[in-house]
Structure 1
Amino acid sequence: MFLWRALSGALAIAERLNSRGMGVEPNCKICHGSTESINHVLFQCSAALQLWSGAGFTLPSFVMAHSLEENFSYVFNLMEDSNRPQSLIRTIPWVLWLIWKNRNSILYADTQESMERLLRAMSDEVEQWFLLNNTPSPATDLSGRLEDRDKWCPPASGFIKCNIHANWRNVHLHSGVAWIARDQAGNVSHHARDAIIHAPNHMVAELRCVIWALSSLRDLGVPRVIIAIDYHKVLEAINAPRQWPRFGDLLEQVVNFKEVFESLVFEGEKVSANGIPRDIAKIVLRDGRFHSYLAFGGPSWLHDRIAR
């Protein structure tokens, strides 16, 4: 509704000025191909079509002939399409708003950012909005092995269970990452920590943490691995990478590790059962421990916690 009013007001100004003999150019200031209207700006202008396509939507040819109401009805129906990834269809309101903001930046601020940068910023806004406004649902079985218990549970015999965590705060700070590997008896074989930079969001930090942990376990010669994660969006993305195209490169690296190990399982973990790697990752920023290390056993300062 806000977007509709903003566009209506802006475009009505041109009509009123022309009615008073001001001679304002009625054609679109971006493509110069048609009379500027709300329908044209959002659905027919070449700049709008490029943003729709870049966001993952190829608008059908009939939008060029349909009315504004029909085109709005079409995109709102897309939001109810269960055959499309939810992560994609929920961006539709932001795409509309992005088209309008991009038009204003070009016309009134004389600035134009690359489409990739615009879409990346939009995706960050969408993710942040849903993160802040959605009430977390009870943990569901994303991998077939999501534990209901609050305490850490050992893996099956012959497996090493590697709990990981990425302590991401914002794009401007380092992210602390950590993992700790234990066998079926609960004995710690190794633990590690590191700092990563330029992670634009929590999802990227967690995926990079997964890749780092898998690389380390591969180099250590561990054949059968369970990666336990408390950030369950990562599990959703690993299980259905095509529905998360924005993280395609990172997800491809993760999936390729399945050919490296004899067995590789990704398991959901409750936050309360993932406290050890979370604490290790937190000290990276808290204490400025930006140097990486890999060590046998668990950290001495968490010995009692690990034993319990």
Structure 2
Amino acid sequence: KNCLKKLVCQRQTIGGLVRLAFPWVLWHIWKARNKLCFEQVQSSALEIITKAREEATIWLNLQGLLPECLKPSPIGPGDTITWLRPQGSFLKCNIGSSWAAPSSVSGASWIIRNTRGKVLFHSRRSFSGVVSKAHASLLALSWASTAVQDLKLKDIVFEFSSQEAANALNNPVEFPSYYYMCYDVFKNIYSVPKSSLSLVSDTCNQAAAAIADSVTRDHLVQSYVAAGGPRWLSDLLIREASTC
């Protein structure tokens, strides 16, 4: 903290986050300089500042050092009890997870739908060596948000239904074994333009949960990504697409 304090700009006329982000600005300027020297790739000033602000926000939030006015809203349960279609230009990515304690295997899934409730993509995979429900859920969140980045998507509403993962994300310092996993989740979510992350009730996340459950219940451990939704969930997906 003493080192951080020395590097923080003290000029009060500069915005709080900008002052706190000063070490990250220096770091990304140095990285941009090296990239130009060794790869002949020039980074824009906007790109440097944006990346610095994103990483500073994540780290300071995890350390509990972010000013109250700049802190993201806590991840809490919503009021809805059924899946709702996203609005405007947004897509909705529901993320599911399951965990089998005896085998230490977990299932993870994500399913992306548009404003008409049409499934664009879905995916499933398994993880081994998983020690808890929170571990399983954080793995699923990190993997799913990385997949969305790989698909070059934006305007994403991420939803999940694990209270255990929400507890860790809201208070990462109190969950030291999951600290870096929380960092990865926040970093991935922030990297998707115009994204948000929300905890929802189990009834709002049925499709993703069912796909994840198929890993631990039916031992379907093969990973895949597919366009559209799984046929065996067609009734549920049609019913949810009809909701307002």
TM over 0.5: yes
Q: 2:95 aligns with which of 138, 161, 164?
A: 164
Structure-1 residue corresponding to 2:118 = 187
Q: Matches of 2:114 and 2:186 in 1, distance apart?
A: 23
- Size of the aligned set, in residue pairs, is 167
1:213-260 Cα distance to aligned partner (Å, 9 max, x none): 011111111112222111123223223323322211101111212442
Structure 1 residue identity aligned to 2:75: S
Q: Give, in whole Å, the separation in 1 of the partners of 2:116 and 2:128.
A: 35
State the structure with bigger RCO (CA 8 A, min sep 6), 1 or 2.
2
Q: Cα distance, 1:289 vs. partner?
A: 1.3
How much identity, in percent, do the aligned residues show?
A: 28
Counterpart-to-counterpart distance in 2, 1:258 and 1:180: 16
Residue identity opposite 1:280 in structure 2 = I
Cα-to-partner distance string for 1:68-103 (whole Å, 9 max, x where unaligned): xxxxxxxxxxxxxxxxxxxxxxxxxxxxxxxxxxxx
Superposition map of 1:142-157 within 5 A: 142-143=74-75, 146-157=77-88
Change in 2 beyond 3 A, CA 1:194/1:267 = same
Out of 203, 223, 227, which is 1:292 matched to?
A: 223
Q: Within 5 A, what are the aligned runs for 1:195-210?
A: 195-210=126-141
Unaligned runs of 5+ in 1: 1-140
- Name the CA distance, whole Å, in 1 between partners of 2:219 and 2:100: 14
What is the CA deviation profile of residues 248-273 of structure 1, one whole-angstrom value per residue up to 9, with x for unaligned ones?
Answer: 11011112124421122111111112
- Cross-structure match for 2:157: 226
CA contact (8 A) 2:109 2:140 kept: yes
Deviations 1:160-194 (A, max 9, x none): 21111111121524211111111222111111111
AA aligned opposite 2:144: A
Aligned-partner Cα distance in 1 for 2:173–2:190: 19
Gaps of 5+ in 2: 1-72, 240-244
Give the structure 1 partner of residue 15 of structure 2: none
Query: What's the secondary structure of 1:168's corresponding residue?
Result: strand
Aligned twin of 1:9: none
SS at match of 2:208: helix
Over alpha carbons, which structure has the higher Rg?
A: 1
The CA distance in 2 between the partners of 1:218 and 1:154, in whole Å, is 21
For residues 58-69 of structure 1, the aligned pairs below 5 Å read none
RMSD: 1.9
Verify the 8 A CA contact 1:161 1:183 in the aligned structure 2: yes
